[in-house]
Chain A
């Protein structure tokens, strides 16, 4: 059995978020950060600069002219979106650092996370008129705890998955029984070390917690809604079984069903536009 601390200690022996990514996240939380501070920090990693510029110029942002510097990218897409892209680059490396030979697909988990991020952004804007960039970030990182569990205790995680698929409780209950903790708690703790904003931390910690009722328009509520929708559209972590939505969120979806149907209709197009973010080899 593991405690969250033990899992994290073992995980950190391997891969973790690069220093530049943590620094950039921290800078965006600080109101006094200037565009120049931001650019200088990112420039410490020239490969990151070119990767970011490629993403900023990708169809996802649909910019009218080509952006060739981080300062210009700040003007066009803003510091928070760039912070999200820095996280995408760093997390993609962490998620894909596995050969998937043991049955639990990290690549699948990465696609799931990207889908939840894209849906969260759409739900925020289209349902709640909320264009906060933290929604995308919360979506892309909400299952980071699963990567840590897979890295350190992959065999036991698979046993927890089997238990869950056999109907022996919720996914989190099965994790707690087999591993001793769950991906929400582990993910929350590592994201806290990575200086993620508080609403993102809450979303990681409570996205499987139906008892702790989250307002539909909170970051946690939107991640729960997005994860459910991703599952319905075959982008679940374990597509065989989807956990039900909390009753208050069901009520909310029913009250805005026609708007949600439009999101479902438009998602494939949004996913295609965002392909450079989650599948750069495509």
Chain B
């Protein structure tokens, strides 16, 4: 099973040690990732590598800004495959699993 590899201290530092703000940002990461995940799935269904890559790029950036390294790395790999037109080889199971794990983060 993939791991989120969340860098808690980085995330706290990023949000200026503000727990409320960090909680809000993590909720946002969850909801935006879910919506980007839908875009990736739609891109895969339409065989549209750019759409897959754009959705993954968005997850990658949001995950990186909050120190969720495992999610960032998986999204980055999907983005690269989408840009290279290799969307047929993309497996979203790992990404889906990681996004669902975002609920388990406790701060």
Contacts and interface: CB of A to CB of B under 8 A. Distances in A.
Interface of A: 34-36, 63-65, 71-72, 74-79, 125-126, 129, 131
B79 A131 contact: yes
By CB atoms of chain A within 10 A, which of B25, B79, B84 has the most? B25
Interface string B12-40: 01111010010011001101100110000
Q: Is the interface of B mostly helix, strand, loop or mixed?
A: helix
17 contacts: A34-B16, A35-B15, A35-B65, A36-B15, A64-B36, A65-B31, A65-B35, A71-B15, A72-B24, A72-B25, A72-B28, A75-B29, A75-B32, A76-B32, A126-B50, A126-B83, A129-B53
Given A125-B53, A129-B83, A131-B79, A35 B14 contact: yes
Contacts of B14: 34-36
Contact of A129 (B29, B62, B84): B84
A131 B28 CA distance: 23
By CB atoms of chain B within 10 A, which of A35, A36, A77, A125 has the most? A35
Nearest to A39: B16
B32 A64 contact: yes
Interface in B45-92: 50, 53, 57-58, 61-62, 64-66, 79-80, 83-84
Given A71-B25, A129-B80, A131-B79, A78 B65 contact: yes
Nearest to B36: A64
By size class, the interface of chain B is 20 to 34
B43 to A, nearest CB: 13
A75 B33 CA distance: 11
Contacts, number: 59
A79 B14 CA distance: 12
B83 A125 contact: yes
Contacts of A125: 50, 53, 83
Contacts of B58: 76
Q: Is the interface of A mostly helix, strand, loop or mixed?
A: helix
Nearest to B21: A71
A262 to B, nearest CB: 9
By CB atoms of chain A within 10 A, which of B24, B79, B83 has the most? B83
B80 A74 contact: no
Contacts of B36: 64
A75 B28 contact: yes
Contact of A64 (B29, B35, B53): B35
A79 B53 CA distance: 19
A65 to B, nearest CB: 7
Contacts of B28: 65, 72, 75-76
Given A71-B21, A72-B28, A131-B79, 16 more contacts: A34-B13, A34-B14, A36-B14, A36-B15, A36-B18, A65-B28, A65-B31, A71-B25, A72-B25, A75-B28, A76-B61, A77-B61, A78-B64, A129-B83, A129-B84, A131-B57
